[in-house]
Amino acid sequence: MKNTLPYLIFLSLISFVIIGGKPHRVSDTKELSIYNEFIGDSGFILKQQGINLLAQVSGNDTIDPHGGDIKTTDTIGKYYKTYTGRYIACVLDIIHPNQNYVPVVIEFTNKGGILESDSFSAGMYLCCWHNNFEGFKKHGDYFSVKVCGTGSGFCSGEIYLFKSMQDITSGTIVQTVWSNLCIEGPMSCRITSKMEIKLDTVIMHYKKEILKPKRKSYKVMKTEFFDIKYIEKNAAWMALDSTKIYEMPM
């Protein structure tokens, strides 16, 4: 009787969990059956594409294969093609109800082999995302994933900035802050920013506004502009002058 040789599957898992909003990483070499749906330099990921990606990364622990209340036509992620020909995608986890739609970043080859996946803490909810995909962006050679800090009358947005999945550090860069209570007194404050990248230095141009609540809006009482430079040091983005960081209502 002729024997049939089974296919051998090599599965390599590297996982680590870092407390405090830092990513949880898994690496493997699973084949991505829908890789040919991702074409061009960038694009958006619909519900079913996202479910297929998440299911292959998660293995057999899928809880809700229907993706909850998300509509079939809804966009739940975005992808970019890297200079190596690989793809990096960010998809909201909609197949694990207890994950609160946490962002999952997945890197895969142009042949469909999943290389890495990182899940990021999103706080109690994605208060700092304006939609289901704007928290993942490309800045020249860099990619960024935005994570949210949540609380009573508080929302902050901080970004992980990296060139590849292997470069994701433990340090984040503050991007936005909203707080109903500022250190200046019983008023609200809002911090927004614009990012400038020069070689291996990141310059954040911040705008801080002290706000007095009105009936249906806020009145700007004071505006302050300041810059903070960040450099990558000891596998983390570090502010050269942390004084202003400590003054933020974090």
Domains in the chain: boundaries: 1-123
Question: What average pLDDT score do residues 128-145 get?
Answer: 93
Report residue 237 as tokens.
């983005």
Backbone φ and ψ for 92, nearest 5 degrees, come out as -75, 135
Condensed to tens digits (0 to 9), the pLDDT of residues 188-236 reads 999 999 999 998 899 999 999 999 888 888 899 999 999 999 998 877 8
Condensed to tens digits (0 to 9), the pLDDT of residues 3-44 reads 443 333 322 322 323 334 555 554 444 444 444 556 678 999
For the stretch 195-220, what's the b/e string if a residue is b when 16 or more beta carbons lie within 10 angstroms of its beta carbon?
Answer: beeeeeebebebebbbbeeeeeeeee
| CB contact at 8 A, 136 and 45 | no
Q: What confidence tier does 112 reach under pLDDT thresholds 50, 70, 90?
A: low
Backbone φ and ψ for 37, nearest 5 degrees, come out as -85, -10
